[in-house]
Structures are given as C-alpha cells and as structure tokens.
C-alpha cells in the first residue's frame, strides 16, 4: 500500500535517503524549504486553528524503569536517574504510534494545501520536575516527533491546565486524571500504560464505541434501569429522535472535517474511522445511524456487534486508538495487543473500577513517578 499517510510517515522516519531540500511526496520528489540540517521544515500549527491533543508522558513513552527507581529508591534518586539518562531516548509508549500517525496526517494535509491551518498539535503533559524534561525533549527529537509544547508541573495536577491549552483530546494512563478531565468537559481517555502501539502507519485508524462515547449514555441508562428488551423497544420508538452527543463527538467531528479536505480534492484520504458498537443492528442500529446522519458526521465503517466480543474484529482493523466506555471491551482489545482507550464516563462507570486488573481506582500503585511524593505522570 502506498497511501498519502504512508508516504508522509516515510518523510518523518526516513528523510535522509533524499537530497537536502527534497522530499518524496505523492510519489514524486519535490523541492521544499529545509532547515540548516537539511531536514524538512514541519509547520507548527497555531493553537487557535489546531486540534489540540494533550498526551501524558507515560502515554507517549515507556517510563517503567523510572517508576521502579522512584518506588524503590525515592524521588531524589529518580530525578538523578532522569538527569543522568537524559541522552538515552525513551522507548515508545501506548500512544506513540497514534502521535506519529496524526503528525503524518499533518504532512499529508500540507501536501494538498501548503497554507493549511487546521492541523493536529500535540502537547506533552507531565507532572514531572522540569529537570526531568530534558530527557523528554531529547526523546522527542530522537524519534523525530513534531512536539513544540511541553507542560511540566512538578507534581501539580496537569488537568488544571487542560482548558488553558484548548484541549480537544487528553490521553493519559492515569484513570483518575482522565475522570477529572471529563468532569470539566475535556474529552479524555485512559490508556493501559504498557499496551503496544500499532506500527502499521499506512493510514490513521480510529475506532469509536457508540453509547457513552460518540453518543450520550441516555439509551444505555434505559438498558441498565429497565433491562435489555425495554432498551430495544425504547430505541425503536425513538428511532427518529437523535441521541444527545457524547464526550468524544468533538474529536470525531474534527476527524470528519479533515477527511473532507482530502475528498474535496479527490485524493486518497489517509484517515479512516469506525463505529464499533455492542448495539444490535436490527433493534437499535437505525437510531445510531440516523443520529450520525443528523449531525453530518460520516463514519467510514459501522460494525454492530450485538454483544459479541469486539477484540477479534478490532484485531483486523488494527486501530491506532479504540475508544470505549466498557471495561470488558477494553480488556478484550488489549488481549490482542491493541491500544484501547477507556472513556470512564456514563452509567457503565458509576462503579469505580480501573482497567488495570479490575482494581478500585483508589489504588495508585499503577501511577507513574513524578517530582512530588505522590502519584502522577
């Protein structure tokens, strides 16, 4: 496959095989503006125009070694370790390939319109001490990521800054921080800290559950309160009444708007979106599809699973991220090594259960080290 996203990804990862000032774009070698190192300039979007993706340090990178030092030897030794190791790049974390993929989408958008303003902008968020930040910056540079904004809070909650950064999506491995973000209206999801990234970057693939993710939890509440058969009747009776919007609808909408930019110029679109819902197509599918239509939101593929496990299907899709509010669906996905993002919102999350081995979220042992003697990222 030789999609626009794959070509753009090659420009991120393998620019050195071309002469300075040239890139491989749309199957051709083109002359572009370069830096003093001969590498391509990558446009940094202005925050007012961009889709802001805030990613925690532990979601972007693998911080297991540092966490062990923090737990065994304490804060001072942890900071010393990060400073002493600042020239050793951190390995990728569960959100790494997603970040690579959206940066490649940026390059593909700039191929069709060099003046494009509506791009992704990634912000690294960490509660680590500023002294630890040099290792993050060196790792960003080593991996060729275009991350210009970094937030280091020395133990204070990063969630208090999310609105100031204009966040459209916050990804973290800390369940409590994600819940805090959702409470103040910031779209957010929890990634299992050591799940694998999808390495196939031929296109950006994002899969969404329906209820309590794209849609509100109003229908799910009926099922919980009155049972499954009443849910089926309720959805049939209200088939022509659009569902209310859920916490991830804004992000899905932005993806849809970006897709339109490629379709308007009749070029292959490097973004593919999926609805993967536990709803039954016959009894509850029409309301879901009519709701999306009423919003003007085009989803490329819709899969109505009727309660069947989602993991096997997602293994075929191989999404860079799959958003779901149900812990069981997250576990089904991670069994296949997929980066599933839990959205702890709605009636299914009224009981405080973590995606990490079903433990109560008051247990902070899964949280990463920080520059204060408390759990953080």
Q: Residue 73: enclosing H or E segment and its boundaries?
A: helix 64-73
**Mean pLDDT for the chain?**
83
Spatial distance between the Cα atoms of 52 and 167, rounded to a whole number of angstroms:
5
DSSP-derived letter for residue 273 is E
SS3 55: strand
Q: What are the 10-residue block averages of pLDDT along the chain, 377 residues in total?
A: 50 41 36 42 79 96 84 83 92 94 95 95 94 93 95 93 96 96 96 71 91 96 93 96 97 97 93 97 95 96 96 94 95 89 94 39 32 37
Supply the pTM of this predicted model. 0.84
Domains and CATH numbers, the chain: 1-41 (no CATH), 43-190 (3.40.50.1000), 204-349 (3.40.50.1000)
Spatial distance between the Cα atoms of 265 and 274, rounded to a whole number of angstroms:
23
Specify which residues 277 forms β-bridges with: 304
Is residue 56 within 8 A of residue 173, CB to CB? The reply is yes
Q: Residue 16's pLDDT is what?
A: 39
Which tokens sit at 4? 């626009």
Tens of pLDDT, residue by residue over 121-148, are: 999 999 988 888 999 999 999 999 999 9
Handedness of CA 76, 78, 81, 83 (dihedral sign): negative
Spatial distance between the Cα atoms of 2 and 28, rounded to a whole number of angstroms:
12
Q: Residue 315: enclosing H or E segment and its boundaries?
A: helix 311-317
Burial class (CB in 10 A: 0-12, 13-18, 19+), 265: exposed
Q: Of 232, 237, 259, give the one whose Cα is nearest residue 5.
A: 259
Q: Residue 108's pLDDT is what?
A: 95
Q: Residue 5's pLDDT is what?
A: 54
In sequence order, the 6+-apart residues with CB closer than 8 A to the CB of 239 are 286, 287, 290
Burial class (CB in 10 A: 0-12, 13-18, 19+), 154: middle
Q: Residue 25's pLDDT is what?
A: 36
Q: Residue 179: enclosing H or E segment and its boundaries?
A: helix 175-183
Q: Residue 55's pLDDT is what?
A: 98
Q: Residue 274's pLDDT is what?
A: 98
Residue with tokens 């071309």: 18
Residue with tokens 């559950």: 209
Q: Of 322, 344, 243, give the one whose Cα is nearest residue 284.
A: 243
Q: Of 169, 155, 145, give the one whose Cα is nearest residue 54.
A: 169
Q: Of 190, 209, 9, 221, give the one whose Cα is nearest residue 99.
A: 9
Is residue 93 within 8 A of residue 63, CB to CB? The reply is yes
Q: Of 60, 54, 45, give the one whose Cα is nearest residue 167.
A: 54
Q: Are strands 271-277 and 301-304 parallel, antiparallel or unpaired?
A: parallel
CA distances from 59 to 90, 175, 242 (A): 12, 12, 34
Q: Residue 155's pLDDT is what?
A: 86
Residue with tokens 């679109």: 269
Give the residue numbers marked as catalytic.
Answer: 209
Burial 352-361 (b: 16+ CB within 10 A, else e): ebbbbeeeeb
């Amino acid at each position: 496959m030789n999609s626009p996203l794959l070509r753009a990804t090659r420009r991120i990862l393998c620019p050195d095989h071309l002469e300075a000032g040239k890139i491989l774009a749309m199957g051709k070698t083109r002359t572009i503006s370069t830096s003093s190192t001969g590498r391509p300039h990558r446009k940094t979007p202005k925050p007012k125009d961009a889709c802001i993706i805030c990613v925690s340090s532990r979601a972007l990178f693998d911080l297991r070694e540092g966490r062990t030092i923090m737990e065994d030897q304490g804060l001072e030794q942890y900071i010393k370790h990060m400073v002493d190791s600042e020239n050793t790049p951190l390995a990728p974390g569960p959100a790494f390939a997603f970040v690579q993929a959206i940066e490649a989408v940026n390059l593909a958008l700039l191929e069709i319109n060099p003046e494009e303003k509506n791009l992704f902008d990634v912000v690294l968020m960490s509660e680590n001490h500023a002294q630890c930040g040099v290792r993050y910056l060196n790792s960003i540079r080593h991996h060729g990521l275009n991350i210009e904004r970094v937030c280091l809070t020395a133990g204070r909650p990063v969630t208090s800054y999310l609105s100031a950064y204009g966040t459209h999506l916050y990804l973290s491995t800390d369940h409590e921080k994600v819940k805090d973000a959702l409470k103040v209206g910031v779209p957010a999801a929890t990634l299992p800290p050591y799940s694998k990234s999808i390495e196939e970057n031929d296109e950006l693939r994002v899969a969404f559950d329906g209820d309590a993710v794209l849609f509100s939890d109003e229908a799910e509440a009926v099922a919980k309160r009155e049972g499954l058969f009443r849910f089926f009747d309720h959805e049939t009776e209200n088939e022509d009444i659009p569902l209310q919007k859920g916490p991830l609808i804004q992000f899905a909408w932005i993806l849809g708007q970006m897709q339109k930019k490629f379709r308007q110029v009749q070029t292959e679109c490097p973004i593919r979106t999926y609805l993967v819902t536990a709803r039954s197509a016959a009894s509850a599918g029409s309301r879901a599809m009519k709701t999306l239509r009423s919003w003007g939101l085009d989803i490329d593929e819709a899969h109505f699973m009727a309660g069947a496990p989602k993991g096997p299907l997602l293994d075929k899709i191989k999404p860079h991220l799959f958003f779901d509010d149900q812990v069981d669906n997250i576990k089904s996905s991670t069994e296949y090594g997929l980066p599933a993002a839990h959205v702890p919102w709605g009636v299914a999350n009224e009981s405080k259960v973590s995606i990490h081995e079903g433990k109560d979220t008051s247990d902070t042992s899964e949280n990463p080290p920080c520059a204060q003697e408390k759990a953080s990222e």
